[in-house]
């Protein structure tokens, strides 16, 4: 499974939810990083390299198409919504309200992706020495976000701190665990992280 997803740590990670109208022509997947562009929920761009602190307000709680996507019929105000049997099939309708997870202290996310470069073209090795290290985040494609084996630039790029790495045997890495190649799916390690520079996310702090 590629991309990001929430991770419930033993101590209890808490999801803080928020809502915003969907931007035009969006195609993000659940838990892709998102931000507000003209007050509309929009997938976080890579800006040619990695995610920036000015362009992260949270992680999408549903795909852009949503599970209850709909729109108001022009001139009537009638709300048209998908039936339960059509979840995800109604398209990404602009200004439909979408839910996202706000990054907060203690909110942990996880990924099987640990890229060698910001383009997300190859998987890197990860081991005990990576615990506690701060990395960039990027995407190879929609729904395929991950960490990058490179330090984030302070006050410019989103910084992800590795707090735990789960091996394929279900056991956490310790400081002496040797490097293992990430695979981008469940056959490789699971990297658990938090956003370390919450105070620099201008759309979260209002700064």
pTM score, two decimals?
A: 0.85
pLDDT at 198: 93
Question: Which tokens in the block code for residue 24?
Answer: 């035009």
The answer to whether 66 touches 98, Cβ cutoff 8 Å, is yes
Regarding predicted confidence, which is higher, 8 or 54? 54
Whole-number pLDDT of residue 159: 96
Q: Are 96 and 60 in contact (CB under 8 A)?
A: no
Q: What confidence score (pLDDT) does residue 170 get?
A: 92
pLDDT of residue 129: 97
How is 97-130 classified by DSSP, letter by letter?
Answer: EEEEEEP-TT-EEEES-EESSTT--SB-EE-GGG
> In the predicted model, what is the mean pLDDT of residues 136-157?
90
Does 141 have pLDDT greater than 50?
Answer: yes
Q: How far apart are CA 25 and CA 49, in angstroms?
A: 22
What integer pLDDT is reported at residue 72 of this predicted model? 40
Report CA dihedral (171, 8, 57, 70) to the nearest 10 degrees: 120
Report helix, strand and coil shares of the chain as percent, to nearest 5: 10, 35, 55
Q: How distant is the alpha carbon of residue 17 from its chain centre?
A: 14
Tens digits of residue pLDDT in 12-34: 656 788 999 999 999 888 899 99
pLDDT of residue 90: 53
Q: What is the band of 207 on the pLDDT scale with cuts at 50, 70, 90?
A: low
pLDDT in tens, 61-120: 888 887 644 444 444 444 444 434 334 445 678 898 899 999 888 889 999 999 999 988
Let me know: does 100 contact 56? Beta carbons within 8 Å: no
Q: What is the pLDDT of residue 63?
A: 87
Q: Which residue has the higher pLDDT, 13 or 207?
A: 207
Return the bridge partners of 165, or none. Answer: 191
Q: Which of 73-82, 166-175, 183-192 has the lowest mean pLDDT?
A: 73-82
pLDDT band at 2 (very low <50, low <70, confident <90, very high): low
Q: Could you report the per-residue pLDDT of 51-64, keeping only the tens digit for each? A: 999 999 999 988 88
* Cα-based distances in Å from 57 to 2, 43, 64, 101, 187: 21, 10, 15, 8, 30
Run of H or E residues at 205: helix 202-205
């Amino acid at each position: 499974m590629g991309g990001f997803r929430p991770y419930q740590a033993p101590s209890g990670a808490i999801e803080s939810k928020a809502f915003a109208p969907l931007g035009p022509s969006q195609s993000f997947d659940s838990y892709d990083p998102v931000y507000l562009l003209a007050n509309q929920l929009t997938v976080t761009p890579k800006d040619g390299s990695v995610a920036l602190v000015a362009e992260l307000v949270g992680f999408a709680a549903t795909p852009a198409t949503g599970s209850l996507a709909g729109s108001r019929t022009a001139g009537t105000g009638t709300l048209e919504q998908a039936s339960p049997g059509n979840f995800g099939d109604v398209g990404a309708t602009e200004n439909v309200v979408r839910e996202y997870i706000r990054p907060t202290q203690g909110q942990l996310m996880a990924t099987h992706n640990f890229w060698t470069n910001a383009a997300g073209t190859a998987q890197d090795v990860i081991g005990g020495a990576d615990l506690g290290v701060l990395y960039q985040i990027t995407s190879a494609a929609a729904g395929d976000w991950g960490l990058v084996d490179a330090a984030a630039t302070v006050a410019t790029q989103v910084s992800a701190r590795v707090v735990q790495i789960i091996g394929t045997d279900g056991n956490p890495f310790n400081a002496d665990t040797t490097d293992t190649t990430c695979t981008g799916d469940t056959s490789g390690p699971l990297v658990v992280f938090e956003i370390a520079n919450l105070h620099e996310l201008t759309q979260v702090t209002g700064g």
